Amino acid sequence: QVHLHSFFLSLCLFLCDYLQQYYNLKNDPLGRIKRSGPSFTSKVKDMQIFFGLNVTGTLDSDTLEVMRSPRCGVPDVEEYSHIQGMRWNKNVITYRYILWYTRDLPRSTVDSLIESAFSVWARASSLTFVRSNTHNADIMVEFVTYAHGDLFPFDGPRGTLAHAFGPGSGVGGDTHFDDSEHWTAGEAGFNLFVVAAHEFGHALGLKHSRNPESLMYPNYKAFNPANLLSSEDVANIKALYSHLNNVLRNSWLFGSLFPRLMQDKCAADLTFDAVSTLGDATFFFRERHEGPISNFMPKIETSIDAAFWVPRRSTAYLIHESIFWTVKGSRVKGKARKLSHFGFPVWVQEVDAAVHIPKTRRTLFFVHDIYWSFFTYILKSCFFVFFFLGGCFVWVFFFLILGFIYFFVGPQVYKYDYTQKHVVGVEKANSWLGC
């Protein structure tokens, strides 16, 4: 009887801890929980609903089996989750080198698996992840055991495998793995790549899914590494970051200049050579490229002076001095052509900036202190556009979003209402890089 009593006591404690951690089960005023009470039964039903079980409110074998499955430590009930569906308000997210490594795998293997886990979300979204050695990286990753300073202690082998905090300051984004588990790169133990990819979903702001095919399903499952995300996962991450159309999937980001530029990205005097929306992304061009412009424009190996996007043609035009390239999809169409194709006179050998206005189907080309309107080839006064800047500027780079033109003038950005013809806001250029 003593052993039976101990068994039921430990089972009750396990069940209560599970419902408290994942479904916000509350103690009564005296600090007690009755396993037969209405609050307990209600939480059991919540759990059964989440996992698609028979909703009985009783602890049947199927319910106990799900509860005993190894899982993520983030709550399942949205309103009590400590991530609250937040998101990073930038496209480039940094993570710090592992503070403490597991002894189950070589450090190089851990580094590779963590990088691969971030890549899963990078491929499905507009986000880019960059390793950093600084103490203020967005996502801090480490292996710890039991109580480790964040008020969410681990519970030893199996049970809770890892947890992550949603985007934000302080512990926001931080991701912890229980080093009491047996971490592997294969099917034995717990696959670090799979668990890390799940936790980084939380670090980006995603909640748990009720769909067993989703990577964000709370209980651990062995997934096919080649097809980790479900269509639901992809749709959710795209929807969460749809507000960030200014994607930093840009030319210099993937080139050899990247390390230095990333270090200087928050410098007060940061400027760009050209900025343009190209498809669903925004590209920031700076300095000469020492290699191909990522996979977007594989045959262009030079700096870009101006760029614009024509949505109805799904075509980008990239200009360097007196020539331009036409890019559709990920391919350069044909050879580089002369600027005279747009109707410029022979003396125009370079363009400072360009923008396409879909509503009027006009493309404006700025050359020193005048601008040209393509289709009509009529030379017009620059005062019409630049009266709010107090003069004409040579180095102006901009693009159109939702009826606004964004003028990048040196280290500042002017938000210009194209319909009302006036400036409605001014901010720093590096604010577009999350600074």
199: annotated active-site residue: yes
Contacts for 235 with CB less than 8 Å, ≥ 6 apart: none
* 341 in a labelled binding site: no
Measure Cα distances from 233 to 115, 125, 227, 239, 397 in Å: 19, 10, 11, 10, 35
Residue 403's pLDDT is 57
* 82 in a labelled binding site: no
* 16 in a labelled binding site: no
* 233 in a labelled binding site: no
Q: What is the DSSP letter of 341?
A: G
Residue 372's pLDDT is 77
CA dist., res. 94 & res. 234, Å (int)? 21
The CATH number corresponding to 252-433 among 2.110.10.10, 3.40.50.510, 3.40.50.150, 2.60.120.1140 equals 2.110.10.10
With 90 as the cut, is the pLDDT of residue 141 above it? Answer: yes
* 47 in a labelled binding site: no
Residue 27's pLDDT is 67
**pTM of the predicted model, to two decimals?**
0.58
Burial of 166 (0-12, 13-18, 19+ CB in 10 A): buried
With 50 as the cut, is the pLDDT of residue 113 above it? Answer: yes
CA dist., res. 20 & res. 278, Å (int)? 48
Residues found in the chain: 435
Domain parsing of the chain, residue ranges = 2-68, 92-240, 252-433
* 391 in a labelled binding site: no
Q: Give the pLDDT mean for 128-145.
A: 86
Q: Which residue has the higher pLDDT, 184 or 135?
A: 184
CA dist., res. 370 & res. 114, Å (int)? 51
CATH number of 92-240: 3.40.390.10
Which of 115, 142, 199, 301 does the annotation list as catalytic? 199
CA dist., res. 105 & res. 129, Å (int)? 23
Q: Is domain 2-68 given the CATH code 2.40.110.10 in the classification?
A: no
* 155 in a labelled binding site: yes
pLDDT band at 207 (very low <50, low <70, confident <90, very high): very high
* 104 in a labelled binding site: yes
With 80 as the cut, is the pLDDT of residue 182 above it? Answer: yes
Q: Give the pLDDT mean for 86-110.
A: 87
Q: Which residue has the higher pLDDT, 180 or 306?
A: 180
Q: Which residue has the higher pLDDT, 362 or 166?
A: 166
pLDDT band at 3 (very low <50, low <70, confident <90, very high): low
* 62 in a labelled binding site: no
Q: Give the pLDDT mean for 371-399.
A: 44
Measure Cα distances from 249 to 35, 142, 215, 418 in Å: 53, 28, 25, 26
Q: Give the pLDDT mean for 120-147.
A: 86
Residue 111's pLDDT is 92
* Partner residues linked to 297 by β-bridges: 293
Burial of 336 (0-12, 13-18, 19+ CB in 10 A): middle
Measure CA 240 to chain center: 9
Residue 100's pLDDT is 83
The kind and range of the H/E element at 196 are helix 192-203
Contacts for 279 with CB less than 8 Å, ≥ 6 apart: 309, 314, 316
Q: What is the mean pLDDT of the chain?
A: 76
Greatest mean pLDDT among 145-159, 276-290, 292-306, 398-412 lies in 145-159
CA dist., res. 117 & res. 119, Å (int)? 5
